[in-house]
Amino acid sequence: MKKQTKINKLWGSAFSQKPSEAVIVFTAGRDVVSTPPADVALLPYDLWVNKTHCVMLATQGIIPIADAAKILFGLAKLETLAKTGKFILDPAKEDVHTNIESWLTEKLGIEIAGKLHTARSRNDQVIADSALYLKDKMLAFIQESVALASVMMKLAKEYETTIFPGFTHHQHAMVTTLGHIFAGFATMVLRDAKKFTHWLAVHNTSPLGSVVAYGTTNPIDPFYTAKLLGFAKPVTNSLDAITNRWEAEADLAYPIASLMNHLSSIAQTLIIWATPEFGMVKLSDQYSTGSSIMPQKKNPDPLEVMKGKASFVQGQLMSLLGIGKANFIGYNRDSQWTKYLIMDLVDECQPAPAVLAGVLETMTINKDGMAGWCTKGFIGATTLMEQLVIKFHLPMRQAKVLVEKAVKYSQGKDIVNYGAMLKTLKEIKLDCKITRKEIRAWQNPEVIISLTQSPGGPGKAALGESLEELSNEVKVLNSWLNTQYQQIFQSKALLEKEIAKIIKKGNI
């Protein structure tokens, strides 16, 4: 009996290393894996909001302590079931809020469980859930972005003197360093990380207590619930909170779209660098995929998928803005779809920074190939022109004409040669005592870098200053993150302390 070959994928036999599972998931998308229901993601946040609301109701004397204790004890049991995967949302019960309340009603009866929904609506409840979800995802994106930028900064330091051809119009244009390029990538990503922090500055408010947009006659304490949920304060206006259930989502979608645009640009750059025609980098097998028919192919699929996801984000962002453009005051059911849009967006994009970090850390750099392009196609012409201006005090436009003509007379030489320069000087009747040595030196890649000292540029001192500034930004962002996570921890700890008091008073 012949041994049968087991096939899990239609490619990969030529690979020395298997792509990571994270890469496979990132590139496969939803081809064979379904997306969980949106309210599965909201379940832990809805439990948090329920516990907070119950504690507030009891503290304010709106419901009896004994009833609150039983509800809180029930929520604790339900939370344990949820964490172990034993609480499954029933589609017949419409949403996560009804599922939880139904479970409590079955266990405690409507006489007790029916009191939990006092002084609130599903409107302020789901917006509170979503705000907590968005806050968590915002912090995660910052963390992932800072980690990616740190990888880029490490590479910038490692390759700070590696000569590299800078491009404009997809053509090599001026000499720079690979370190300068990586520092540029890090600058983009850290700027996006800072954009996420602005989201919290605007949206760190609790909507719980807004009810259906017009408040409640119950003596609630929204400042207390805001504190237990880790928000800075309650919303300023209950109508605004309910009517604009799209804005926090759209405001988070924008920095994600900005980040993905930058990652897409970096991905496209790496794809081009990795082509045989450029041959500047080689992608690791771990971050490549194969072909179902061509045995030799190793494709940059994770990077191509990065570009596709960047376009996907922009579509989701436009949809979020569209939902918010014509809301009549109060709750509108169409705003429910903001939940699906932002969750799909987050799920698709959150792995992207880590995937790109892996690509960068594992790829092979062809230093010789890069250096080779720094001696071709008159790439030193701009520096030659600038040095003519500096040394001989020529008007920039005159120096440009001079070098342009010298380039024309040097065709086929890759650099401007001495004979072409002399011919041009004679032709335009310019007395400029430039030497053969100067012409060669000012087109030499290493000399060009040593002469380039402008801030933010590839010169060693300038690059060092840039990396120091980026390192300080990383420190500030990490400190900010630690503060936010500490505040969340403290809020949850305070909530559990308050719950313990009520359960003790209620003799549970």
Assigned domain for 119 exists: no
Q: Which residues neighbour 226 within 8 Å (Cβ) at sequence distance 6 or greater? A: 205, 206, 208, 232, 233, 234
- Contact between residue 33 and residue 471 where contact means Cβ atoms under 8 Å apart: no
SS3 (DSSP) at 164: strand
Predicted confidence at residue 5, as pLDDT, reads 40
Q: Does residue 4 register a pLDDT over 50?
A: no
Q: Which domain, by its residues, includes 391?
A: 381-442
Number of helices (H) and strands (E), helices first, in the chain?
A: 20, 6
Distance of alpha carbon 138 from its chain centroid, rounded?
9
- pLDDT confidence of 315, banded at 50, 70, 90? very high
Share of the chain above pLDDT 90, in %: 83
Assigned domain for 419 exists: yes
Range in 228-242, 350-364, 419-433, 473-487 with the lowest mean pLDDT? 419-433
Predicted confidence at residue 1, as pLDDT, reads 41
Instruction: Taking each helix axis as running N to C, give the angle between helix 65-83 and helix 96-108, from 0 to 180 degrees, rounded to the nearest 10.
Output: 120
Element (H, E) at 28: helix 21-28
Assigned domain for 357 exists: no
Domain count, the chain: 1
Beta bridge partners of 234: 206
pTM: 0.93
What is the mean pLDDT of the segment spanning 133-161? 98
Assigned domain for 326 exists: no
What is the mean pLDDT of the segment spanning 391-415? 93
Range in 59-63, 111-115, 340-344, 410-414 with the lowest mean pLDDT? 410-414
The answer to whether residue 262 is catalytic is no
Q: Long-range CB contacts (< 8 A, 24+ apart) of 388-391?
A: 388/432, 388/434, 391/438
- Contact between residue 124 and residue 207 where contact means Cβ atoms under 8 Å apart: yes
SS3 (DSSP) at 110: helix
Assigned domain for 466 exists: no
Element (H, E) at 417: none
Q: Does residue 192 register a pLDDT over 80?
A: yes
Q: One of 169, 170, 292, 454 is an active-site residue; which one?
A: 169
Q: One of 291, 311, 450, 479 is an active-site residue; which one?
A: 291
CA distances from 207 to 51, 118, 189, 234 (A): 15, 15, 31, 6
Q: Does residue 207 register a pLDDT over 80?
A: yes
What is the DSSP code string of 94-109? -SHHHHHHHHHHHHH-
What is the mean pLDDT of the segment spanning 306-335? 92
Task: Indicate the burial class of 4 (C-beta count within 10 angstroms; 0-12, 13-18, 19 or more).
Answer: exposed
- Contact between residue 104 and residue 78 where contact means Cβ atoms under 8 Å apart: yes
pLDDT digits (tens, 9 = 90+) for 253-298: 999 999 999 999 999 999 999 999 999 999 998 887 776 666 666 7
Range in 49-53, 329-333, 376-380 with the lowest mean pLDDT? 329-333
Assigned domain for 465 exists: no
Share of the chain above pLDDT 70, in %: 95
Q: Does residue 11 register a pLDDT over 60?
A: no
Q: Does residue 3 register a pLDDT over 70?
A: no
Instruction: Indicate the pairing of strand 281-282 with strand 233-234.
Output: unpaired
pLDDT digits (tens, 9 = 90+) for 237-258: 999 999 999 999 999 999 999 9
- Longest alpha-carbon distance in the chain: 103
What is the DSSP code string of 211-224? TTTT--SS---HHH
Instruction: Taking each helix axis as running N to C, give the angle between helix 247-274 and helix 337-349, from 0 to 180 degrees, rounded to the nearest 10.
Output: 30
- pLDDT confidence of 9, banded at 50, 70, 90? low
End-to-end CA distance of the chain, in Å? 67
Radius of gyration of the chain (CA): 30
Predicted confidence at residue 88, as pLDDT, reads 94
Assigned domain for 388 exists: yes
Predicted confidence at residue 6, as pLDDT, reads 44
Q: What angle do CA 106, 108, 114 make, to 5 degrees?
A: 90
Task: Look up residue 488 and give its two tokens.
Answer: 């969340």
Assigned domain for 160 exists: no
> How far apart, in whole angstroms, are the C-alpha atoms of residue 146 and residue 166?
25
What is the mean pLDDT of the segment spanning 201-223? 96
- Contact between residue 46 and residue 97 where contact means Cβ atoms under 8 Å apart: yes
The answer to whether residue 169 is catalytic is yes
When the pLDDT of each residue in the chain is averaged and rounded to a whole number, the result is 92
